[in-house]
Structure 1
Amino acid sequence: MNKLSIGPQLRTTSVLVVYLLLLHCSRGQSKLIGPSQPIVATVGDDVILPCHLEPAVDVAGMTLAWSTSDLEPRLGFVLLSGQDMVNTKHPSYKGRTSLFTNELKHGNISLKLSKVKPADEGTYQCYVPKLNETSLVELVVGASASPVISLTEIDGDKDGVVLQCESKGWYPEPELLWLDAKGKNLSAGPTETVRGPDDLYTVSSRVTVEKKHSNNIICRVQQSNINQIRETQIHISDYFFNLQSGYSTVTVGLTVSFAVCLLLIPLLLVIFCKMQKIIRLKRRQWAENDHAAKKNLCESNTEDQICMEEEREREQLIACESEKVEDFINGNVEKKTKCKQQMRQEAENSESVKNLKEELETKKKEVEMKQAELQQLQEGNQNIEENLQTLRKKLESKNKELERIKATKFSIHDLTDPSVEEHQKKRRVAEREAASLRKQLETKIKEFKEKQVEVQQLEEEIQRMETNITELNMQLQAEINSRS
């Protein structure tokens, strides 16, 4: 009977020992888990390199290390018994790396890297020496910027215009393409690439656009590794194509007219002056002869009244002739004024001035469109900012919920209770939801920053266009003045 009564006790003890052994074995089999896809970060942003143990193991008191094979010393971050070993860090990482110390007890060894640089790109290793576990994380760093198109010169040989496209602040090195309105590649010059001291690339290229091409030209800059495409479109006015053929004819015609007027005016003035002298001389001779004759007549004539009347008639005739000479001279001055007015009217109606006015109106309309686009971007940024606030509140609420779940403690006697499994399930769900919210928040923050960059670039582009309008106004006025 005693032997039989000992059997159930042995079985209970065996089950407990097996359970403890399984628990110990399961802890010893924890694996470091990293992301299955490369982590993509934008230059200047903060990024998290994920790494955690499954099943979770408290590593708060263990030695933890993050490193990359591209640097010497190779250790980028070491945590020894909870203490950050600053002296082991590579100089480029000092002040930019940190772990989530509150998450170490849950096996989360993810590394936060602040103010990402192009040189940070590479493969990182997460390492727990005590568990002899390693996980790799690949970091891809990228940066992009919108291109700017400018008109550099007019190519008279090919009857076209030369455009230049430039885009600053790319990483890795991007590709630059010229396209027409249908998306077909245009034959352009070689792409010039310059890498700055901040490791960011500036690319530029030139293309000659002929009249056979579409008036809408696109400059596209793209980088496939970071899945970024930025492009800018410009509309080429027909004025630039007609300038070569029409400018010379109009210029020659106006120049000839202007030269003829310049030659005629002095010639007419000389003729007027000579005629005036001749008329005055003749008038003086006639007056002297007539006065002498009449004087002799009056001396022989006894009637003084007749002489007085004839003297008055002579004075009236002289005054009339003087008025005719003045009217003649004034008439020629009026002709000179009309000639100048006619030349100014021809200058204003010339083809080049007309095209300048059309281009000026086109530029004004483009500025209005850009201003409307800027307003839409600013409204979009406001919506994104509101979404960010909502996501932050949700994440804060979810973190509090997760802390409450984690604060619940269970003893070893509760391990077989079904509620424990339910509790663990809720915890995993809450962690996934919190991670999802954090990812959404990071995406929104990145989108918000990109929109801010677009707003800034659009404002700069509008400013350049307004400056261009001012220059066109000055050019138009100078063109009219030079032709008049």
Structure 2
Amino acid sequence: MTGITQQMDGLSLQAPLRPLRLLVVYLHLIHSCRGQSQLIGPSQPIVATVGDDVILPCSLEPTEDVAAKTLEWTRSDLNPIFVLVWRAGQDYAQIKHPSFIGRTWLFPDELKHGNISLKLSKVKPSDAGTYKCYIPKLNTEYFVDLVVGAVSLPVMSLAGIDEATRGVVLQCESKGWCPEPEVLWLDGEGNLLSAGPTETVRGPDDLYTVSSRVTVEKSHSNSFTCRVQQKDTNQTRETEIHVTGMRM
């Protein structure tokens, strides 16, 4: 009887623990299914043109009111790194990088929906880079890449005659590009021509001027095209010239 009594006592001590263990497991499953809030944004770089206004998207998922939280937009290559800091319900401009003063805003009415997208006005070439959207309290972040582009139409001219081949030397120049573009020459049938190295100059406004020369001979159409293109911004500009009086 003593052995049976001890066994029964052991069972009676363990029984109340089982519901508690089940409750712990249940709460753990709820936490796992609910997941942690995270910031989401575009998977591709945002492309903007110099002088335009642009929005860098970033929002919290699942939705949560973040108006009372500290919110940060930063760029690690800057000093100070802060593009915008939202603190105590307002833009904390004292620590913002000087180049962004008066040019960056959040959308206050959207903060209650977890939307902390950044508006950047009058985009400059120096604005290109990787921006971090960050909520310190939730320890969640997202990175948005901004590509800044500027384009212009190439200008073509006759630069002279190549004495060795008696061919015509054509010159092409295009100013005000960002990022740095490449220059291609094509004949009337669309075939690439072999040209000399492209000369590139970067101005104080961070915009590029490119120039190139090619020597051409008599062709079927005597039509030639200078094409300037920038792959990151998917921008292309070209100018065609028709050369008459070329010797065979």
TM-score, structure 1 length as denominator?
A: 0.43
For 1:76-91, list aligned pairs within 5 A.
Answer: 76-91=83-98
Q: Distance in 2 between the 1:52 and 1:157 partners?
A: 64
- Is structure 2 residue 56 aligned with structure 1 residue 49? yes
1:165 aligns with 2:172: yes
Q: Partner of 2:208 in structure 1?
A: 201
Q: Is the 8 A contact 1:164 1:204 kept in 2?
A: yes
Distance (Å, rounded) in 1 between the aligned partners of 2:76 and 2:103: 18
Instruction: Give the distance between the partners of 2:169 and 2:240, measured in 1 at CA.
Output: 15
Q: Offset of 1:204 from its aligned partner?
A: 0.5
Partner AA of 1:131 in structure 2: L
Question: In percent, how many aligned pairs have the same letter?
Answer: 68
Alignment coverage as a number of residue pairs = 221
* Alignment of structure 1 residues 404-419 onto 2, 5 Å: none
Letter in 2 for 1:76: V
**Counterpart for residue 108 of structure 2:** 101
Secondary structure of the structure 2 residue equivalent to 1:233: strand
The answer as to 2:135 corresponding to 1:133 is no
The 5 A counterparts of 1:388-399 are none
> 1:130-172: CA deviations, max 9, x gaps?
1111111111112221111111223454323221101111111
Amino acid at match of 1:158: T
Amino acid in structure 1 at the alignment position of 2:64: V
Decide whether the 8 Å contact of 2:188 with 2:220 is kept in 1. Answer: no
1:12-36 Cα distance to aligned partner (Å, 9 max, x none): xxxxxx9xxx69x95x832211211
* Structure with the largest fraction of strand: 2
Q: Residue by residue, what CA displacement relative to the aligned partner does 1:384-421 show, whole Å, maximum 9, x if unpaired?
A: xxxxxxxxxxxxxxxxxxxxxxxxxxxxxxxxxxxxxx
Which deviations, in whole Å up to 9, do the C-alpha atoms of 1:186-205 show, x marking residues without a partner? Answer: 22222111101110100001
Give me the whole-angstrom Cα distance separating, in 2, the residues matched to 1:83 and 1:212.
Answer: 66
- Code of the residue aligned with 2:86 in structure 1: it is L
Higher RCO (C-alpha 8 Å, min separation 6): 2
| Deviations 1:314-341, CA, capped at 9 Å, x for gaps | xxxxxxxxxxxxxxxxxxxxxxxxxxxx
Which residues in structure 2 correspond to 1:19-98 (within 5 Å)?
A: 26=34, 29-98=36-105
Which of 178, 186, 190 matches 1:183?
190
Query: Which is higher, the Rg of structure 1 or of structure 2?
Result: 1
What is the TM-score when the length of structure 2 is the normalising length?
A: 0.82
CA 1:97–1:87: 2 relative to 1, 3 Å: same
Q: Check the 8 A contact 2:129/2:147 in 1, yes or no.
A: yes
Q: Which has more helix, going by share of residues?
A: 1
Partner of 1:233: 240
Unaligned ranges ≥5, structure 1: 1-17, 243-484
CA RMSD of aligned residues (A): 2.3
Residues 127 and 90 (structure 1 numbering): CA distance in 2 closer, same or farther, change over 3 Å?
same
CA–CA distance in 1 between the matches of 2:71 and 2:167? 64
